[in-house]
Amino acid sequence: MAHVLGIDVSTTATKAVLVDGAGAVRGIGIAEYGLTVPHPLWSEQDPALWWDGAIAAIRSVLDQTGVPAADIAAIGLTGQMHGAVLLDVAGAVLRPAILWNDQRTGAECDAIRAALGPERLVEITGNDALTGFTAPKLVWVRDHEPDVWRRVAHVLLPKDYVRLRLTGEYAVDKADGAGTLLFDLAARDWSPEVLAALGIDPAWMPITREGPEVTGAVTAAAAAATGLRAGTPIVAGGGDQAANAVGVGAVGPGSVALSLGTSGVVFATTDRPLYEPRGRVHAFCHAVPGRWHMMSVMLSAAGSLRWFRDALAPGEPFGGLVEQAGDVPAGSDGLWFLPYLSGERSPHPDPLARGAFVGLTLRHDRRHLTRAVLEGVAFGLRDGLDLMTAAGMPSPQVIRASGGGTASPLWRQILADVLEAEIATVSTSEGAAYGAAVLAAVGAGWFASVADATDALVVATPVAAPGPDAAAYAAAHALYRDLYPALAPLFPRM
């Protein structure tokens, strides 16, 4: 059996990626779907969409490649984190899943901090209570939908609902479990103290497994629906960020990955459960056994450049726009950009934060504004990285970068200068789904460890190193850090 399959259950689509024994992607199947916003700040999805999407994506990749289902050695799962899927005793869905981007639970976050104490909460879970996490969603259902709450028998995360439909088993990987705010980070399992404080029955929570561990096998019914072979093992996998880190080879202690898409994520692997005392960056278990990670999330990274292009240079190719910014010196001649176009998550968990250009003068033109956007995003990413190193993570020498923003040589150089680390791109481009397939390869026995698998399958290529502008950027970043505290009191008034 010479293939493994990675399945990514995301917010907008389910993707199935077929990978051969040499690590090459043989085919990709994708099934798209939508979500609902029944009230302001709400974001929900019918779990049936994920199962239907998985069926369509799996059948698509099998049909287009012609690879027989019997040739798939194992399957790995990944997907959107932090959702709340509530099931009754028979495994039936009780209400639409509440998603990671749902913002209704501000009061519930305050209630969680009050129930445990803010310091104790971070000490146990590694994180502050944020609206995106699963725990506040459960508290909301407890307090607002008592009829649903009385019928709850199982709580799952989105990809693990697909696991249930594939295998009949209730299970979750430790990385995704840690993203619920219900985990004891150091123990790598559910926290009895947090569950008790929030009135959540421990019996509702699924068994937790390490990323490469087998959690079940494809049932006869699931095989008939998907075209897979009954009995195909399915490993635990990982939440999308942990699986993406596996996909780019950020699995050893001290390794760092950067994802530069619409949002920006700095992901740092650790060999012990480090956390930032105020919870300003996330701390979760990794999909790699015996590993943890810290993660900083910027809401508008490459999304800031897209906004700028659409607002001020509509129709302009990104490449040409950014190339012109190369004529401007580092520091954009005294112009700064704050990338808080959607509020911010790390290091400032502030939904009211707003974007800004600061320092505009008559000498600035569009080239300066473009470069300031690139630099402002890099400065924001540096903010998160600094919190991680202050928490005990060593400063990285190399950062493995992925995402559309890394296509720009200028942006890669700015990142290398600002982050003071070599930037490397990797040989894979399917992110979390590829990482899930790598975990499946380990579970199938192809490799002795996740590190062995990524050493064999993922190639990193250096593309930028810190240059002579690094010192100028250090000075510019020092001023950048002072801008948010100066402007924050004004944001609520805006």
Q: Which residues are catalytic?
A: 240
d(CA 266, CA 74): 29
Please give the Cα distance from 242 to 288 (Å, whole number): 8
Beta bridge partners of 239: 79
* Token reading at 75: 């399957």
SS3 category, 298: strand
CA dihedral of 128, 131, 133, 137, whole degrees rounded to 10: 130
Q: Which helix (H) or strand (E) is 235 found in, with range?
A: strand 233-235
Q: Hey, how many other C-beta atoms are within 10 angstroms of the C-beta on 89?
A: 9
- Reading the block at residue 130, the tokens are 């944020």
Q: What is the side-by-side order of every strand in the sheet holding 422-426?
A: 282-285, 292-298, 264-270, 256-260, 398-402, 422-426, 460-464
C-alpha 378: how far from chain center: 18
Q: Nearest to residue 418, comparing CAs of 336, 300, 488, 323?
A: 336
**CB of 249 closer than 8 Å to CB of 458:** yes
Structural contact between residues 187 and 174, judged by C-beta atoms closer than 8 angstroms: no
126 phi-psi bin (left φ>0, alpha ψ -120 to 50, beta other): left
Identify the burial level of 263 via C-beta atoms within 10 angstroms of its C-beta, where 0-12 means exposed, 13-18 middle and 19 or more buried. Answer: middle
Give the C-alpha separation, 120 to 123, whole Å: 5
Give the CA distances from residue 57 to residues 7, 14, 157, 221, 324, in Å, rounded to whole numbers and listed in that order: 9, 7, 20, 17, 41
Q: What share of the chain is helix, strand, coil (3-state, %, to 5)?
A: 40, 20, 35
Q: Of 394, 408, 403, 409, nearest to 429 (Cα)?
A: 403
How distant is the alpha carbon of residue 311 from its chain centre?
27
Sequence-ordered list of residues with C-beta below 8 angstroms from that of 248, at least 6 positions apart, any chain = 257, 400, 402, 426, 428, 431, 435, 458, 460
